[in-house]
Amino acid sequence: MENEKFTEILKNRIKLRNLTQRKLAELVNSTAPQVNNIVQGRERLGAKNTPVWSKVLGIDPLWLMTQGEQGTAPSDELTPTPTDPDIINIPILSLDARGGFLPNDKADIEQYTIGTMPFNRQIAHTGDVVIPVYGDSMTPKYPAGSYILIRPIEAWREYIELGRSYVLELADWRRIIKIVRKGHDATHYTLDSYNVDYESNEVSISFINNMWLVVASVTREEL
């Protein structure tokens, strides 16, 4: 959805609620300038603030946070929808995935949850997590600064769907995001990037500790 369409719908929703931007700022525990930036599409809402905005305005949280790119746009009806059974909040972990092969910024610390991100249950499942992407080798599909929804693959040594994007945890504890393809033999994978400036690399399957399937991504400001 174009940004202008998002702002138009959001402004209309605020009007239907008989709210001023100043009053909305009070209700969502924010400031009038920040609310104006969000309403004008100059600033993304972010996962931390999405739940209260969703409750006050009765808007699908995923639609709000992605500026209309995902989720269901609000109608002109005033029926409040403070909770949506079709929405699941997925934890954002204090880990990262590298587009290249450099060490992770957050590789040697214990993982913990730094926030949540709402997704439709048709997309996300219990057990999924969200982590940020650093590096530009997976641009344009997964650019640096984007957040990816990933799903653990328990039996990845037995079978994975080749040609899809995965996060791989290597034996040296690096986490990388790559397109996984068939290697030169049954003991290797070829790892490709979306950025054509990066060459393919091979990795021994025995050098991989864990794999997660990349299910979806959201590009927004860092929390």
pLDDT of residue 13: 85
Give the range of the structural domain holding residue 150, as residue numbers without chain letter. 89-219
CATH, residue 140: 2.10.109.10
pLDDT of residue 222: 36
pLDDT of residue 109: 45
- Domain match, 141 and 69 both: no
pLDDT of residue 210: 93
- Domain match, 113 and 54 both: no
pLDDT of residue 88: 86
Q: What is the pLDDT along the chain (223 residues), one digit of tens a residue?
A: 457 788 888 888 888 877 889 989 988 889 999 999 988 888 888 777 888 888 888 888 878 888 887 777 776 654 444 456 778 888 888 777 776 555 555 444 445 666 778 888 889 998 999 988 888 899 999 988 888 999 999 999 999 999 999 999 999 888 999 999 999 999 999 999 999 999 999 999 999 999 999 999 887 543 3
Percentages of the chain per state (helix, strand, coil), in multiples of 5: 20, 30, 50
Q: Which of 84, 106, 138 is the C-terminal boundary of a domain?
A: 84
- Domain match, 59 and 165 both: no
Distances (CA, A) of 8 to 49, 120, 155, 160, 201: 20, 23, 46, 43, 46
- Domain match, 59 and 164 both: no
- Domain match, 69 and 107 both: no
Contact 83, 43 (CB under 8 A): no
CATH, residue 76: 1.10.260
Prediction pTM value: 0.60
Neighbours of 23 (CB within 10 A): 15
Count Cβ atoms within 10 A of the Cβ of residue 205 and give its class: 0-12 exposed, 13-18 middle, 19 or more buried.
middle
pLDDT of residue 47: 75
